[in-house]
Amino acid sequence: MGIGPGRFGEAYRTVSTDPQLGVRHAHNSYLQIWAEWGLLGLIGWCWLLLVILGNTASLSPWLAIALWTLPLCNLFDFSFYIPQVSFLWWYLAGWSLRHPHRCQTPCKVSDTKARVRQQRRQVYSV
């Protein structure tokens, strides 16, 4: 079990040699989740990421890169705790799971461009 959500700063002050040091977050999101939610919380979080990131091969390369960037950056940062950043990532993650135009094989940028051109022709021909 972890120390509880939002309590990392309090727990850090109890073990810190400098009690005046005002640390609120761990140096990365995964350590933060492990400390606050425990091992089961970390396993659940990693499972959720694997579900979301596991199907990125069938998406456009740009969307796949956008979805992989934040979890990789959070190995060294805690930007999942910044609402403006995490909202955009969760929006893209949800959109990618429900996106109707998936490629049957891994997409290439040229496939995506051709699909966009075809959609534009359909819209402008109406």
The reported pLDDT for the residue numbered 61 is 84
Predicted confidence band of residue 104 (pLDDT cuts 50, 70, 90): low
2, part of any domain: no
The reported pLDDT for the residue numbered 40 is 92
Q: pTM score > 0.75 for this model?
A: no
Q: Mean of the pLDDT values across residues 67-92?
A: 87
25-55 pLDDT, tens digit per residue, is 677 888 888 878 889 988 998 999 888 888 7
Tokens representing 11 are: 């727990």
The reported pLDDT for the residue numbered 47 is 92
Spell out the alpha helix ranges (H) of 1-108: 8-15, 29-53, 61-73, 83-98
The reported pLDDT for the residue numbered 59 is 80
Q: Residue 20 has what DSSP assignment?
A: T
Q: The domain containing residue 40 runs over which residues?
A: 8-125
116, part of any domain: yes
Q: Looking at the 3D structure of the chain, how many domains does it have?
A: 1
